[in-house]
Chain A
Amino acid sequence: MTTVVNVPKSLDDHRQVETLIEQVAGVPADAKLLVDARHTTFASPYGLTMLLTLAQTRLERPGFYPPLAEDTGSYWARSHFYKFAEELYDFHGRAHPSTRTGDSSVLLEVTPVGASEDVHAVVERIQEKSQQILTEELRLEPAATMRFTMALSEACQNIVEHAGRGGWVAVQRYRWQARLGGRKVVVMGVCDAGMGIRASLESSPARRITDSWDDRVALEEAVLNGISRHRDPGRGQGFRGIRSFLDKWDGKMGVRSGTARLISPMPEWNPLPDEPTLEEHLTPFPGTQLQIIIPERVA
């Protein structure tokens, strides 16, 4: 039996991604999935990298219906989504080709991350574009470009160091039509279907498992307290560095792992007014998924 997974019209933030995850809850990994994105008109970098990650979790190669809307399909092609989706999904129907070459809104196309060399490639590539977008369009100080790249590097390294399998990263700039008064934002998605933060920390021989130990506690330990599975005191600085950068530039980071999700920092401009800082008992999903948003600066 095939389970059909309907991709929401907009696959933007974590709420829509949760609806995707909930549809595969309880479906055995070797059961056939058909992921239907025909009516999807928008996906953020978080959404696109989650679609690839979803396929990675399956033992049976899932089917995929690409978006019907030409501009959506063309954007997904320019973002290199199809390039990797074709390795993971059986396509049903024609994927729209890119109708343009290059896209100034795409800071970093969907890029696989599995080794240290991939992080170097990501950093080299993003530097070409980020300076102009961050300083001219988001009105951040020039120094923010390097710090943004550092944050990206650290986020990607979490996959290499801790996931146990490869993941994906993508970065895009766009204008929020209905949020933040139409301000521009840069959105980064970094997703993997690896072991997740809890299992990573549990692999440390020094880790004492207490009664309260779960995905939420593990997430807080890693993201807020800089705890790593390594005993080396120099480890565990990645999330701290990312949060420090986002604090300074009024950004937002959401991290999901296992059944928990944490937001830190939580900015005042957050467009989801009732969004909790910490969520637990979510539908289980392998690996760790990050979404980072940096807004245009206003005077």
Chain B
Amino acid sequence: MVTHIDLKTVLRRTVCELFSNLVTRPTGAAVRGGIEQQLALVENPTLTVIDFSHVGLLDFSCADEIVAKLLLRHGAEADPGHEVYFLFRGISETHLDAIETVLARHRLALVTDDGSGCVRLVGDLDDRQRATWEAIFRLGCAVPDDIAGEAGIPAEDAGKVMEDLWRRRLVMRNAQGYVAVGATA
């Protein structure tokens, strides 16, 4: 199931009808609260598209409250009973400044989609994790043996990396194998 959340709509509903910028920590916390209210109503597992397309400015405090805290609270460690995956859409270069800063601070990563099919992995990942994710994305759906061939790493290592990517909610897991977030939305 795919859920689409437009952040400007959430901002206007939860904070103020007049605002179009995501600034200040209280604003970020309120917007995250609005997103989590919607998440509470969706099925498990779910892929949620967080859409920044209509947001003007995103500052560091808001990026931390919205992006970092959503990822921290909905990873496998913090929320083992739910599979909530996020795809971040409509991220501008200036949004990315703030987002990359908070991802580095918390050692997090996420997937962005520019809305026209360009999908990127952003944040704190080593070369092997990044290569594995990209191989899964290229293949559409993959098991460790596929990745061993595609990314040139031993199948056992590929399995561990894929499991780690799944725990970080950067790939989804189904009966056939692993699917990269962003490959299907």
Contacts and interface: CB of A to CB of B under 8 A. Distances in A.
B5 to A, nearest CB: 21
Given A150-B94, A161-B25, A237 B19 contact: no
Name which of B64, B69, B92 has the most chain A CB atoms within 10 A of its CB: B64
A120 B60 contact: no
Contacts of B26: 116
A157 B94 contact: no
Name which of A161, A233, A234 has the most chain B CB atoms within 10 A of its CB: A234
Interface residues of A, number: 25
A161 B26 CA distance: 10
Given A127-B56, A237-B64, A120 B24 contact: yes
Nearest to A146: B94
Given A120-B21, A233-B105, A234-B64, A153 B57 contact: yes
Interface string A120-163: 10011001000000000000000100110110011001001100
Interface string B52-82: 0000110111001100110000000000000
Contacts of A218: none
B9 interface: no
Contacts, number: 78
A146 B57 contact: yes
B87 interface: no
B104 to A, nearest CB: 10
Interface string B5-44: 0000000000010111101111100000000000000000
A117 B59 contact: no
Contact of B94 (A119, A143, A235): A143
Given A117-B16, A234-B105, A150 B98 contact: yes
B160 interface: no
B59 A153 contact: yes
Given A143-B93, A150-B97, A234-B68, A120 B105 contact: no
B66 to A, nearest CB: 11
Contacts of B60: 150, 154, 237-238, 241
B156 to A, nearest CB: 33
A127 B57 contact: yes
A127 B19 CA distance: 13
B124 to A, nearest CB: 13
A124 B21 contact: yes
A124 B101 CA distance: 23
B102 interface: yes
A234 to B, nearest CB: 4
B25 A157 contact: yes
B106 interface: yes
A217 to B, nearest CB: 23
Nearest to B102: A234
Interface in B119-139: none
A288 B135 CA distance: 51
Contacts of A234: 64-65, 68-69, 102, 105-106
5 contacts: A147-B97, A150-B57, A153-B24, A160-B24, A234-B105
Interface of A: 116-117, 119-120, 123-124, 127, 143, 146-147, 149-150, 153-154, 157, 160-161, 233-235, 237-238, 240-241, 244
